[in-house]
Structure 1
Amino acid sequence: MAESAKLSGTGDPASGSPRRRATILDVAAAAGVSRQTVTRAINDMPGISVETRSRVLDAASALAYRPSRFGRGLVTGGDRQLGLVVSDLRNPYSPELASAIVRRAAADEWSVSLVDIGLSGAAERVLSALQAQVDVVVGYLGEWAPEWESRFSATPLILLDAGSDSPHPGVLLDPADAIEELAAHLAAVGTRRPVVLDASEPPAASGRGLAMVAALERRGLSPELVHAAASTPEHASAVAAQIIRRASPPDAILAFNDLMAFGVLSACRHAGLDVPRDIRVAGVDGLSIGTLVAPTLTTLAVDFDEVARHTLELAVALSEPDPEVDAHRVVAHRLVLRESA
């Protein structure tokens, strides 16, 4: 029997080296058989002995090999399957992202299964079921990303906006340049008392909130960072209602996301403030609904179609292992100036 194949990245996860998915060639080498024999054993086809089939299946199990649906489709038929994970479908961000990925997936002949691990209340069960049904999982796993590494590693994972230091392939959303543009614009139109409304528990601050503060400081301003316990319109409206009643209220509020910006607009309306004459408001994400509120919302917009394109390219690279493909992609936000600022 041939020596077991050694897979890069299947050792210590703390080493930082990326985990490579075992291929059919790895199984063939470990079992001492041909690729065609592995195909016959995995798909329960005739033409091999019971002993050989058992040896192949044992090797596949030891290597955590999971045949891609695309590969099986060559034998049995069927589309490639993408599992999309979101955290809250009540947030308009999730369906906008999902619709872009579904459109791109359909064009590339993939099917999509969508799960919400935030609303399900049973994230482990949902993820376990999903990984058994799809070739690749993509999405926002948050605290569940390390769990995937240790328990669901046979199915490749693409993380969205997980950070450039993530060991997993992914698509990073980068607002840095757009934040600088927004800060420059606010300084140019005479902003003097800006507030950054962050989605964080004090005294901590998000990376996005800190970037907004730093960009404004580089323009000679002294922004205040205030905290909302959650990134929702309700929490943002409550916090904004307090700060706009001050003796010296802010003349601009930069919200962590568009949903929070909608809450700020609501608080301003109830306080009788004119936006943007009395106070300017901006958000982040570029949600479509931002064009329907009054005033229309200035935002740092994500190109969801670009995110979808990178996601499907990575999905193909993982389902048909290609070491030459860049596993970490970046999509930059862009400043969209509308009435609110």
Structure 2
Amino acid sequence: MSHPEARAATIVDVARVAGVSRQTVTRALHDMPGINAGTRERVLAAARELNYHPSRFGRGLVKPAARTLGLLVGDLTNPYYAELASTVLRLAAERGWNVVMAEPGSIADLAGGTDAVIGFTGLALERPNAGAPNLPVVEIDPPRVSPGHGRVEFERATATRQTVAHLRERGVSRPVVLDLPGRSARGRAFVDAFRDAGVDPVVADSALSWAELRSAGPDALIAFNDLNGFRLLRELAEAGVAVPDEVKVVGVDGLAVGEFVTPRLSTLAIDLGEVARAALDLVVELSDGSAGDLVRVVPHRFLARDST
């Protein structure tokens, strides 16, 4: 037998060389029942030949106490990150995993004591220059692709078009899209969707107040996120502007608290449970070498509430 590739061997390589399934490799390496002695020896010989060593995380699939997941999150004072972190912690606990969390931190902060890392920071994650070359890393909604990292991407285009159609049906013709300086992907998506619907929106800095925005005469405000939307609702109420009759307001993120403000905020929501499960499943697939596709996609959905 010969080493099939220069990179570190995976369970898929062992299965190919031994001529068995990945499940059979797992049973053989962990001395589990359901496999005969000859097959077990063939698998062990292939593993020795390829210098394959199951990751600590992979061994944790059989021995739960061995698994430690690192979780990097953005600012926990932002409910968006806090809700996702809470969901990951709950689902990881259900799987018997230990979790170490850093805010926001880097992979280097967690690499030494964890078997895999999930990052949800709004920033691209870089691997440390040395150490942990095979550490499974999954990024949630990253701003750019990092080679070798798994990622959970958000599909916003469909919900964005639905939002714009909803607003146009309600007579919106002077929307303002609030965005970060330099423009974000979500801001560009709204601008494109409005233009496709025959309206050229104003784009403004998300930090601007209603007092600074009112001169544009908007009949709809597309907030950069739900927190931005909550602020605008408060400022509109203080200014005596009726929502949604005079100005409609839409947020992005779908924070649970949006159900408890007055008026309730319409928003592009994301199922954080689905996001967390996709990230955790991808961690396992990266750990045992079975991840053929490094990308999982979770769609936003438009929730029409009282603010539109």
Contact 1:69–1:78 at 8 Å: present in 2 too? no
1:175 maps to 156
The answer as to 2:98 corresponding to 1:111 is yes
Deviations 1:85-125 (A, max 9, x none): 101000001111012212221222222222112xxxxx35x
The answer as to 2:140 corresponding to 1:160 is yes
- What SS is found at the alignment partner of 1:109? coil
Contact 2:60–2:66 at 8 Å: present in 1 too? no
1:332 maps to 299
2:55 maps to 67
The 2-side partners of 1:66 and 1:149 are apart by: 23
* Residues 278 and 147 of structure 1: CA distance in aligned 2, closer, same or farther (over 3 Å): same
Contact 1:85–1:115 at 8 Å: present in 2 too? yes
2:126 maps to 146
2:213 maps to 243
The 2-side partners of 1:212 and 1:73 are apart by: 43
Identity %: 37
The answer as to 2:191 corresponding to 1:221 is no
What stretches of structure 2 of length at least 5 have no aligned partner?
A: 15-28, 31-49
- What SS is found at the alignment partner of 1:243? helix
- Compute the TM-score of the two structures, normalised by the length of structure 2: 0.79
In the TM superposition, residue 149 of structure 1 has moved relative to its aligned partner by: 7.2
In the TM superposition, residue 23 of structure 1 has moved relative to its aligned partner by: 4.5
Higher relative CO (Cα under 8 Å, sequence separation at least 6) belongs to 2
Deviations 1:59-98 (A, max 9, x none): 98xx9x88324427868x7242211110100000111101
Matched letter for residue 68 of structure 1: R
* Residues 320 and 249 of structure 1: CA distance in aligned 2, closer, same or farther (over 3 Å): same
The 2-side partners of 1:147 and 1:193 are apart by: 45
The answer as to 2:84 corresponding to 1:97 is yes
* Residues 73 and 278 of structure 1: CA distance in aligned 2, closer, same or farther (over 3 Å): closer
The 2-side partners of 1:308 and 1:322 are apart by: 19
CA-atom RMSD in angstroms: 3.0
Contact 1:79–1:109 at 8 Å: present in 2 too? no
- What SS is found at the alignment partner of 2:297? strand
Deviations 1:172-230 (A, max 9, x none): 0111100000000111110011000002x2xx2111101101101111112101113xx
Matched letter for residue 261 of structure 1: G
1:283 maps to 251
Deviations 1:286-305 (A, max 9, x none): 00010111000000000001
1:133 maps to 113
- What SS is found at the alignment partner of 2:139? strand
The 2-side partners of 1:137 and 1:289 are apart by: 28
- Compute the TM-score of the two structures, normalised by the length of structure 1: 0.72
The 1-side partners of 2:200 and 2:124 are apart by: 37
The 1-side partners of 2:217 and 2:242 are apart by: 13
The 2-side partners of 1:142 and 1:333 are apart by: 17
- What SS is found at the alignment partner of 2:217? coil
Q: Which of 271, 276, 280 is matched with 1:308 structurally?
A: 276
Matched letter for residue 212 of structure 1: F
The number of equivalent residue pairs is 275
The answer as to 2:174 corresponding to 1:193 is yes
* Residues 300 and 142 of structure 1: CA distance in aligned 2, closer, same or farther (over 3 Å): closer
Matched letter for residue 174 of structure 1: E
2:44 maps to none
2:69 maps to 82
* Residues 255 and 284 of structure 1: CA distance in aligned 2, closer, same or farther (over 3 Å): same
Contact 2:253–2:268 at 8 Å: present in 1 too? yes
- What SS is found at the alignment partner of 2:229? helix
Contact 2:118–2:140 at 8 Å: present in 1 too? yes
The answer as to 2:194 corresponding to 1:210 is no
Contact 1:87–1:116 at 8 Å: present in 2 too? yes
What stretches of structure 1 of length at least 5 have no aligned partner?
A: 9-20, 28-37, 40-58, 118-122, 229-234
